[in-house]
Structure 1
Amino acid sequence: MFCNRCGTPLEGTENFCKKCGAPVGEYLKAARKAEPTPPPEPPKAQEPERPVEPPKAQEPERPVEPPKAQEPERPVEPPKVQEPERPVEPPKAQEPERPVEPPKVQEPERPVEPPKAPGFDQTWPEDPSSGPSQPPKKKGKKWVIPLVAVLVVAIGVGGFLFWRNMAANQAYQEAVASGSETLAKGDYAGAAALFEQAGEARELESADRLALAQAYLGMGDREKAAQLLREMTLAQEDEQYDLYQRLYALAELSTQVEQVNADNFPVITLTLTCDQPFPLGVDDLTVREGEMDCQVQSVTSEGNQVSITYLTYDAEASEELRQPVLTLSVEGITQQRQADYYTPYFAPAQLRLVSTDVSQYPVVRAYFKVVDQDTGSTVEGLGNNSFRITECVEGGEYLAREVKAVMPLEGNGGLNIDLVADKSDSISPVDMGKIQTVMTQFVQELDFALGDRAEVLAFDSIVQQMCYYTDDVALLVNGINNMSTDGLTAFYDAVYDGVTNATLQGGARCVIAFTDGMDNRSRHTPEELILYANEQQTPVYIVGVGGSVEESTLRRIADSTGGRYWFIDDLYDLEEIFRQIYEEQMDYYIVEYVSDESVDSYATRDLMVNVSGQGYRGDAVMTVTPTRSIRDDGGVEGGHRYELFKESLTWEEASRKCQQMGGHLATITSQAEMDEIIAMAEAQDVKYIWLGGYTSYDDQGNVFGHWVTGEEFTFQAWSENEPSRQDQDGTEEWYIMLWNIQALNGWYWNDQRNDPVSVVPIMADGMGYVCEFE
């Protein structure tokens, strides 16, 4: 007998099932009386059909669980079959051909065995003594067995697959770890085998694929590495993208150097091909020639062409065989490319430093002239790699300096030109007309848009500034036209002042001077002039006119300062000479290099300069002391303004100080300007103020004034009977002063000698000068 609810075997004497508590009906009692023997034990008879071993569910010694007795609606649930967390035992999982025997479990055509029917399929009549009973739901029970079977199979298969994936992952990780260690030791073949083994377990990850490519490259198998990398796709934001590109470039780079360019020797360019972007830089490459390591300067790529530029060592002779070895390195993987070339034939070149500019220190801008040593013609076409500079600052050690840029002056910078003209009495009015015509035409042809600037100085017994440095053509022409013949010849003093003013402008500069006679008034000697011009790095070009010039002295000055000398018969020939000088200056090379920012920019330094290229080679050793210019420390700022200085100086001293500060002695072209300067003077109790003007005689002997800026001399405020052009003792009065004379009851102009305090000492207490800054 069995319980009609849970199928538990019954002894026949119970009123209630010991396991589930279900009542035993009267018909069961009658049946027990009629049955002389107990039914066979159902668990053992039906054991092969059940998916999970039922013995534990039918153990008679187990006490009835009280909680389960309170769940009348639940069918018999084999606990161990329905626990999802328990996978099929590993031994059975390793025998895939016998996981669970589903045929016997899922056979729907087999009739229900009689012992099983009371517990699962039969409906028993109600027991009138025990009240109505809830029979099991027939329709809800039929899908339990197939479902349980499917779940068992799914769990088994899933467990098996899970176990197999775990095993594959473990094998992958072990192979990858071993491969990485082997790769780090430089055993590329062993590393490749291990990464390939990992790939057999499952697909390689990106980082491991790159490691395998690295191993292939280390083995020298570029084709396998390229194929492996070709199959990858990485986004630029991927952290592995840079390594991917570098390895790919190494795999795709041509095995041979396609071309060697030695035109700019000792700068050499090697060209290779690469069908992929080439991200390798200077730090990834080395070049060696023989026993010498060469300096790699740049790596550039355009299309599929990769150009590697390096600096080699000088050759002892032309057409010398060189065999460079290029080594490329990526993550410890090195590859080499070999080439050969012959050094070119070298013609000797002459190299000369013209001037320097330290206004952008520590960047030094040096102006070099490079010419054919035999013909004197300019060497053209030199570039960034043509110059090498080694510098020793104030007795330190020689250090190679970085050359930032090399460019011709023409098209890349302006020229500061000081035009010095002779206007002494020996110049006839006709010749003065020729001079003015030629000079006017020359300044009109300057390239002011590119940065050219000019100054006009004229000399007779003194040096006069007809027009201070400017790019205003109108002012220059007006200054030229204000020249008139007078006095003696102070040629050396005029050139000396021209060197000073040109040097203050910085950059490329020169002095162009002409004279028709011997110097008979200067304070400076030719030797002083030569020394000073060389110190200031300013070349002097001189043109001699007429038979009374000291040609040997003038030629020596020009040649010693880096300029040239011409002798002409006709002043109209000045036009061609001016043009030649300008073109020669435009052939200068601007070389920018980086010096030592920890030392003073004006410190003396020794330079060793080597130049090569375009079939030329030359070198020079020179000592340089950079000069101060008004552009240093940012130049003059603040716009147009006046600044008054209460100090007793000569006119020449005051003028020099204003120019050194980047300005000039003030000019007055209106009453408003005069009133502004007077107010400044009265505020500081200054009575005598130097202005930036001169007086001269015209061809008819009349006295007239002009400003140092070349401005029109239309507004005038002379004292009565001034300008006199001579002091009471007969000394020439060339300079304009603004003074306050009580007897005249106001401020007026007067022409004065250069040093009035020497004869009127009381003036020293009220002396001053006003600088004007444009």
Structure 2
Amino acid sequence: MKKINIEKNLLILLGLFLCSLSVAQPVDVRKTRITAGDTIELKTLQINPEQFPRVDVIFRAENQKKEPIWGLTSDDMTVIEEVDTCQIIRFELLSKEMPVNIALVTDHSGSMEVANAFYNAQSGIAKLLENLNTDKDSVLIVGFSNGVDVVTPLTNDIELLNRELQSMRVFGATAFYDALSTAIDSIQQHSGIRAIIALTDGEDNSSRYSRRQIIQKGKDSGVPTYIIGLGLSEQNQPQALTILGLLTGFITSDYLSEFADELGGEAYFTTSSEKLTDIYHEIALKVYSIYLLTYTSENMSPADTTRIVDFQVGTATTEYDKDKAKYTLSDEILERMGKLPLLYIAIPLGIITGIILLFGLAKKDDVEDDINLETNPSVTDADSEIG
């Protein structure tokens, strides 16, 4: 009876331990089954040929519902560069080991008081922080209204982040672009997987920076920005913009969609702030579902400076969010490639020349020995007499 109780307690402890591990996971990780009828959309985030012929590709894969695909392995992937099928030498989910660093840009302007919008935003962010893997991942918060008024350091201190979040008060105008500028400046100083998640309920009306400047700054940083448009519907219905109760214009979902696309991310829309927790979670899934694939190019010709790369995921149909992935070989790589044929010729020639020289030296020694014998016959005669 005592033995049974011990075993029962061990099982309970094991169950609690496994549950604690599942809670610590920042996102839901699940293997995705891929079938011939599926359509997979690949978004190439970066392609780097600096170690050519090794080429690194960072990408995200999504299904038709825009849900990230988890559990891919190298066996699921086929890489075709131009017409050559290439060997995959490395494949991994980057977020498994690499730190994930996120900048949360939070609107607490006066209009966020409507329908408990800011309270629901705080709840959504708090839930995201609760699921953070603090062993390797970190977050910084940028709060804005009339201007940027809250900036935390990048940290895994959840209590500090929550305190700063709770300290914000709803008031003022919307300095959205200035807040994005601050977030870009802060997050790009750090390595790892980086992303900006920005919430706003209206168009900017209080920034020094312009939309165009932020687009350029975002592109230069290489950090994707995901924008949540609160109060907007996906049907592109215009939202009225007001200052001090006066109508100043309209903002549509298309406006924010195009902005997010230019910044390398995506836009999400909801007319209900109660859905913000789900949206933050959905974006986190995308941030974490980034793969690194390294393959070896078969094309060693320096004449082909730009190469188009095609990917096949299992038996599914592959589509691309924009164009197919492509890369261009830098002058440094081309110079290195130009020297390779010479090396391929020089090394064998060097080996052959070395063998010939060694053979020649050996032959020369034999000839010199023969000459010595001919010029010194007395040595041979003396040896004969002794014998």
Q: Does TM-score exceed 0.5, indicating one fold? A: yes
Give the match for residue 308 of structure 2. Answer: 608
d(CA) in 2 for partners of 1:519, 1:530 = 14
2:211 to 526, 536, 544: 526
Asked whether the 8 Å contact 1:355–1:508 carries over to 2, the reply is: no
Give the match for residue 418 of structure 1. Answer: 103
1:434 to 120, 124, 142: 120
Which range moves more in the overlay, 349-358 or 560-569?
A: 349-358
Q: Give the AA of the match of 1:411.
A: K
CA deviation string 1:603-653 (max 9, x = no partner): xx966333223213547234589xxxxxxxxxxxxxxxxxxxxxxxxxxxx
Matched, 1:621 2:306: no
Asked whether the 8 Å contact 1:358–1:364 carries over to 2, the reply is: yes
2:58 to 367, 372, 380: 367
d(CA) in 1 for partners of 2:162, 2:55 = 34
1:350 to 41, 45, 64: 41
d(CA) in 2 for partners of 1:452, 1:360 = 28
Q: CA deviation at 1:544?
A: 1.9
Give the direction of change, closer, same or farther, for the CA distance of 1:428–1:617 in structure 2 (3 Å limit).
Answer: closer
Q: Give the AA of the match of 1:608.
A: I
Asked whether the 8 Å contact 2:102–2:138 carries over to 1, the reply is: yes
Give the match for residue 175 of structure 2. Answer: 490
d(CA) in 2 for partners of 1:352, 1:382 = 15
Matched, 1:515 2:189: no
Give the match for residue 73 of structure 2. Answer: 383
**Sequence identity of aligned pairs in percent?**
24
CA deviation string 1:348-406 (max 9, x = no partner): 5432222579999998764301234x554445553235253869xxxxxx999874421
Asked whether the 8 Å contact 1:466–1:480 carries over to 2, the reply is: no
In the TM superposition, 1:136-175 aligns within 5 A as none
Q: CA deviation at 1:526?
A: 2.6
Give the direction of change, closer, same or farther, for the CA distance of 1:484–1:404 in structure 2 (3 Å limit).
Answer: farther
Give the TM-score normalised by structure 1. 0.30
In the TM superposition, 1:649-728 aligns within 5 A as none
d(CA) in 2 for partners of 1:418, 1:538 = 10
Asked whether the 8 Å contact 1:489–1:521 carries over to 2, the reply is: yes
Give the direction of change, closer, same or farther, for the CA distance of 1:503–1:608 in structure 2 (3 Å limit).
Answer: farther
Asked whether the 8 Å contact 1:414–1:447 carries over to 2, the reply is: no
Q: CA deviation at 1:479?
A: 2.1
Asked whether the 8 Å contact 1:606–1:621 carries over to 2, the reply is: no
CA deviation string 1:82-133 (max 9, x = no partner): xxxxxxxxxxxxxxxxxxxxxxxxxxxxxxxxxxxxxxxxxxxxxxxxxxxx
Give the direction of change, closer, same or farther, for the CA distance of 1:379–1:437 in structure 2 (3 Å limit).
Answer: closer
Q: Give the AA of the match of 1:491.
A: F
Give the match for residue 121 of structure 1. Answer: none
CA deviation string 1:12-48 (max 9, x = no partner): xxxxxxxxxxxxxxxxxxxxxxxxxxxxxxxxxxxxx
Give the direction of change, closer, same or farther, for the CA distance of 1:526–1:400 in structure 2 (3 Å limit).
Answer: farther
**SS of residue matched to 1:469:** coil
Asked whether the 8 Å contact 2:145–2:171 carries over to 1, the reply is: yes
d(CA) in 1 for partners of 2:313, 2:78 = 9
In the TM superposition, 1:124-523 aligns within 5 A as 349-355=40-46, 366-372=57-63, 375-384=65-74, 386=77, 388=79, 403-409=88-94, 411-428=96-113, 430-449=116-135, 451-523=136-208
Give the TM-score normalised by structure 2. 0.57
2:289 to 587, 592, 595: 587
Give the direction of change, closer, same or farther, for the CA distance of 1:380–1:433 in structure 2 (3 Å limit).
Answer: closer
Give the direction of change, closer, same or farther, for the CA distance of 1:610–1:468 in structure 2 (3 Å limit).
Answer: same
Matched, 1:570 2:256: no
Asked whether the 8 Å contact 2:74–2:88 carries over to 1, the reply is: yes
Give the match for residue 45 of structure 1. Answer: none
CA deviation string 1:696-715 (max 9, x = no partner): xxxxxxxxxxxxxxxxxxxx
Q: Give the AA of the match of 2:196.
A: V
CA deviation string 1:517-565 (max 9, x = no partner): 2211223333333343334332222122234462332121123434332
Q: Give the AA of the match of 2:260.
A: A
Matched, 1:559 2:255: no
Which runs of no fewer than 5 residues in structure 1 stay unpaired? Answer: 1-343, 392-397, 596-604, 626-774
Give the direction of change, closer, same or farther, for the CA distance of 1:572–1:474 in structure 2 (3 Å limit).
Answer: same
d(CA) in 1 for partners of 2:59, 2:142 = 27
Q: CA deviation at 1:477?
A: 1.4
Q: CA deviation at 1:491?
A: 0.5
Asked whether the 8 Å contact 1:448–1:471 carries over to 2, the reply is: yes
Give the direction of change, closer, same or farther, for the CA distance of 1:502–1:356 in structure 2 (3 Å limit).
Answer: farther
Q: CA deviation at 1:421?
A: 0.4
Higher helix fraction (1 or 2): 2
**SS of residue matched to 1:489:** coil
Q: CA deviation at 1:490?
A: 1.2
Asked whether the 8 Å contact 1:493–1:522 carries over to 2, the reply is: yes
d(CA) in 2 for partners of 1:356, 1:503 = 19
Which runs of no fewer than 5 residues in structure 2 stay unpaired? Answer: 1-34, 232-238, 242-250, 298-304, 330-387
**SS of residue matched to 2:169:** coil
**SS of residue matched to 1:407:** strand
Give the direction of change, closer, same or farther, for the CA distance of 1:431–1:370 in structure 2 (3 Å limit).
Answer: closer
Asked whether the 8 Å contact 2:120–2:276 carries over to 1, the reply is: no
Asked whether the 8 Å contact 2:44–2:325 carries over to 1, the reply is: no
Q: CA deviation at 1:346?
A: 8.1
Which range moves more in the overlay, 408-417 or 515-524?
A: 408-417
Give the match for residue 51 of structure 1. Answer: none
**SS of residue matched to 1:448:** coil
Give the direction of change, closer, same or farther, for the CA distance of 1:406–1:572 in structure 2 (3 Å limit).
Answer: same
Q: Give the AA of the match of 1:369.
A: R
Q: Give the AA of the match of 1:621.
A: A
d(CA) in 2 for partners of 1:475, 1:390 = 48
In the TM superposition, 1:26-105 aligns within 5 A as none
Q: CA deviation at 1:345?
A: 5.8
Q: CA deviation at 1:443?
A: 0.9
**SS of residue matched to 2:258:** helix
* CA RMSD across the alignment: 3.9
Work out the number of aligned pairs and report it: 265
d(CA) in 2 for partners of 1:575, 1:529 = 26
Give the direction of change, closer, same or farther, for the CA distance of 1:387–1:498 in structure 2 (3 Å limit).
Answer: farther
d(CA) in 2 for partners of 1:578, 1:447 = 16
Give the direction of change, closer, same or farther, for the CA distance of 1:574–1:361 in structure 2 (3 Å limit).
Answer: farther
